[in-house]
Structure 1
Amino acid sequence: MSVSEEQITKLFKARRTVVQMLRDRGYSVDDSDIKMTRHEFIEKYGDNVHLKRDDLLIHCSKGDTPTDQIYVFFPAEQKVGVPMVRNCAKRMKADNVFNAILVVQKALTAPAKAAIGEINSYFSMEVFEESELLTNITEHMFVPKHTVLKDQEKKELLEKYRVKETQLPRILVTDPVARYYGMKRGQVVKITRQSVTADTYDTYRYAV
């Protein structure tokens, strides 16, 4: 496989995982995007010579909350700096979209990381490197099912067991699965595992 073909395959896999991630977070995505093959990807976006990463932009909303929207940017720069980060933030502000994911080819520059830290005072901008998205971590055989609880579900859980959220076992927001689901500090996730004595059993973790 040539370098060009490898780059296309890498980008195709990264975008596919992002689309699956959006679906698993509750965003409305087309089945055609979920099922898109590499051949269909090239037909739609072109080969490595003609493909423009800007064309890969994704914009979608949550089915139960249409105003909850997200952008997924695929910057063309090999190493994303402050200007690109600020341009993405400007578009988010102009379109009233408060969530975004940047899929970058290489790690951000230190100033770009600092810029995102500032932006996240107003918006939620996550960053994934393409290499982190080549496979869907939630499909690994050793990763149990994770379900992020809604606020009301979290409240009912705490009332049922008469515990405070801080008494639950913890999960770091930097954990790969927590990042996949876009977990924020304070959220609770239900983890469903297979049991030897029963079909399944649930445990809960508090994001910190």
Structure 2
Amino acid sequence: NSFCTLLRSTMALDGLSVDQISRVHHVMITVGEMAADRGYLVAEEWCPKRLDEFRTRFVPTGAAIEREKMMLYCRHEKSNEGLFVFFNGDASVNTQKVKDYAQHARNEGAKTVILVTEGKLNPPTKKYVETLARSDVQPITMQVFHEDDLVVNITKHELVPQHIPLSDAEAKEVLEAFALKMSMLPRILQRDPIAQYFGMRKGQMFRIMRKSETAGEYTTYRQVV
């Protein structure tokens, strides 16, 4: 019955509940989809499809999820640039940990890092993350996501229209075709969850495909600010 189902879903598995493990598994799935949607080639075997496989690989003792082992490294299908994704389970992520992640990426020649955290970044660490992109050594673009924001893939929600990031060349073609300036387009904030998902920068453009009962489908464009 429903009570037994609920009991099974919340009962502890050697210290961690099924729900706790399933939650992080879903986060990992979303991260893989996010990287792929950005054009990165993610190895199929990186993320286990089944929960029992995830538990075997990343929760071997049952007491804790070994997030460090969930690290992802992949390359972009067009530019061949590398992307690192690090998972951190600390209650508070300190600056030294972020420095270690950035250095690891630099050692491999990667310029983009996604950090997925269970805890929060303290204020000094947040400021340090912002300075990485302006570094004189080797600039690193680091995005930080909290696990809570990745349990569900926002782009798959039925109320969210399809967002397609455009390259600079594609955006230029759109502006020329409609005799527009970028500043004339409706805006979407860089901190918007959809813009965050695709790693959009200010000055870039989205093509948005919306469904309509009368028109079938219509297209709009937005600038990232």
TM range (shorter): over 0.9
Query: Residue 215 of structure 2: which of 186, 198, 205 is its match?
Result: 198
SS of the residue 1:74 aligns to: strand
* Contact 2:89 2:119 survives alignment (8 Å): no
1:42 matched to 2:59? The reply is no
Aligned to 1:93: 106
Q: Pairwise mapping of residues 25-174 of structure 1 onto structure 2 (< 5 A)?
A: 25-33=38-46, 36-47=49-60, 48-49=62-63, 51-66=65-80, 68-121=81-134, 122-174=139-191
| CA RMSD between the two structures | 1.5
Deviation at 1:64, TM superposition (A): 1.7
Deviation at 1:107, TM superposition (A): 1.9
Structure 1 Cα separation of the partners of residues 200 and 211 of structure 2: 23
Cα deviation per residue 1:130-168 (whole Å; 9 max; x = unaligned)? Answer: 111110101111000000001111110011011111111
CA 1:195 to 1:50, structure 2 compared with 1: closer, same or farther past 3 Å?
closer
Structure 2 Cα separation of the partners of residues 45 and 35 of structure 1: 10
How many aligned positions are there? 207
* Greater Rg over alpha carbons, structure: 2
* Contact 2:83 2:113 survives alignment (8 Å): yes
- Counterpart of 1:53, as a letter, is R
* Unaligned runs of at least 5 residues, structure 2: 1-9
Aligned to 2:16: 4
SS of the residue 2:39 aligns to: coil
Name the structure where strand makes up a greater proportion of residues: 2
Structure 1 Cα separation of the partners of residues 170 and 38 of structure 2: 16
Structure 2 Cα separation of the partners of residues 32 and 137 of structure 1: 23
TM-score by length of 1: 0.94
1:17 matched to 2:20? The reply is no
Bigger relative contact order, structure 1 or 2 (CA pairs below 8 A, ≥6 apart): 1
Cα deviation per residue 1:10-35 (whole Å; 9 max; x = unaligned)? Answer: 21111111001011111111334567
Structure 2 Cα separation of the partners of residues 125 and 104 of structure 1: 13
